[in-house]
């Protein structure tokens, strides 16, 4: 894909604003982190519903009626995964109780709409919305779980070391994932524009193997160097997390490109000029988060 300075300038300006908002939400406190990804969660579900309606027009009515109920279930899971991030005066029982009461009410609402509403929940709509829970809600739930520090508290509840690990790793890993994906996207675009010759996939013809490989290598190298020399962290952690984020994240980008190809649309939305919608911007993170979570469970506990 040839380098287009106008497109690059638009993407760069949007990316700058996006980066400021993301950093503010991620670094301020636990509540800002949760609110940021609640917004992302809602935006992704809205665009996912549009894609499903394009792919399966026959399910449109049922998807539109029941989408908010399924997305609310995912949001409740995000609350439970947030741990002490959402405590008020040291007490998080109120939010947990609200979420716990809401789920039975929600099941009753879905059942009522199915049996007595004009748009019953068809098998096709149920499958599409169920996959939405796995594709959209599960990654943000796992990201909140990582941010809460819970993986490092399980083996040493109440100890100073466990609290220290939870705070450091909970704040650091989401930043490594985001930075790795940003760098990978940027470097893959630049290297692919100048040196790319071999198309990566028919679902995303503008991406090249040369750009993709260069993006992963440069992303891992830069993130690891910044982590070791700037943050005095352990090189293997930065290298593995950035590698997983870059490589698995690229698969997430291809998956969303496949969905858009099936839906017959160029972008999932128009929320960010030059970048498309929420799914266009966060597609890589949707697959990268479960991979990094699994890495945490295996190697970092």
- Alpha-carbon separation of residue 251 from 53, 64, 286 (angstroms): 23, 28, 10
CA neighbor of 219 nearest in space, from 258, 283, 176, 257: 176
Q: Are 269 and 42 in contact (CB under 8 A)?
A: no
What pLDDT, on a 0 to 100 scale, did the predictor assign at position 85?
79
Tokens of 224: 């690891």
pLDDT, averaged across the chain: 83
pLDDT of 166 higher than 70: yes
Residue 97: predicted pLDDT? 59
**pLDDT, average across residues 136-155:** 87
**Angle at which helices 278-299 and 30-55 cross, to 10°:** 120
DSSP per-residue string spanning 36-73: HHHHHHHHHHHHHHHHHHHH-GGGHHHHHHHHHHHHHH
Q: What is the pLDDT of residue 277?
A: 86
Q: Which residue has better confidence, 94 or 124?
A: 124
Confidence grade of residue 100 (pLDDT, cut at 50, 70, 90): low
Task: List, for residues 262-299, the tens digit of each pLDDT value.
Answer: 998 887 877 766 567 899 889 999 999 999 999 999 98
Burial 57-92 (b: 16+ CB within 10 A, else e): eebbbbbebbbeebbbbbbbbbbbbbbebbeeeeeb
Residue 94: the pLDDT is 54
> What would the mean pLDDT of 130-143 be, rounded to a whole number?
96
Q: Is 261 helix (H, G, I), strand (E, B) or coil?
A: helix
Q: In this structure, are strands 199-201 and 204-208 parallel, antiparallel, or unpaired?
A: antiparallel
Q: What is the pLDDT of residue 226?
A: 92
Instruction: Tell me how far apart the alpha carbons of residues 9 and 12 are, in angstroms, rounded to a whole number.
Output: 5
Would the CA dihedral through 207, 129, 135, 269 be positive or negative? positive
Would you kindly state where each structural domain of the chain is located, as residue ranges?
Answer: 5-299
């Amino acid at each position: 894909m040839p380098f287009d300075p106008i497109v690059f300038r638009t993407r760069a300006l949007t990316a700058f604003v996006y980066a400021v908002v993301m950093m503010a939400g991620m670094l301020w406190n636990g509540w800002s982190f949760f609110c940021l990804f609640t917004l992302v969660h809602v935006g992704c579900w809205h665009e996912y519903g549009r894609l499903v309606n394009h792919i399966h027009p026959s399910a449109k009515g049922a998807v539109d009626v029941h989408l908010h109920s399924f997305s609310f279930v995912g949001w409740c899971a995000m609350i439970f995964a947030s741990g002490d991030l959402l405590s008020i005066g040291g007490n998080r029982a109120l939010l947990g109780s609200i979420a716990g009461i809401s789920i039975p009410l929600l099941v009753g609402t879905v059942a009522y709409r199915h049996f007595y509403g004009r748009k019953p929940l068809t098998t096709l709509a149920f499958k599409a919305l169920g996959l939405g829970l796995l594709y959209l809600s599960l990654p943000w739930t796992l990201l909140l779980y990582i941010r809460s520090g819970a993986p490092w508290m399980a083996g040493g509840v109440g100890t100073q070391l466990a609290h220290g690990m939870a705070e450091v790793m909970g704040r650091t890993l989401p930043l490594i994932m985001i930075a790795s994906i940003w760098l990978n996207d940027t470097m893959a675009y630049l290297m692919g524009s100048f040196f790319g010759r071999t198309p990566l996939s028919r679902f995303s013809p503008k991406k090249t193997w040369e750009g993709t490989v260069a993006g992963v290598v440069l992303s891992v190298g830069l993130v690891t160097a910044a982590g070791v020399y700037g943050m005095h962290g352990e090189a293997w952690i930065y290298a593995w997390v950035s590698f997983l984020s870059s490589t698995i994240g690229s698969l997430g980008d291809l998956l969303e490109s496949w969905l858009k190809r099936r839906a017959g649309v160029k972008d999932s939305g128009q929320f960010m000029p030059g970048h498309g919608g929420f799914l266009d911007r966060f597609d890589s993170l949707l697959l990268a988060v479960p991979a990094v979570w699994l890495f945490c469970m295996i190697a970092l506990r």
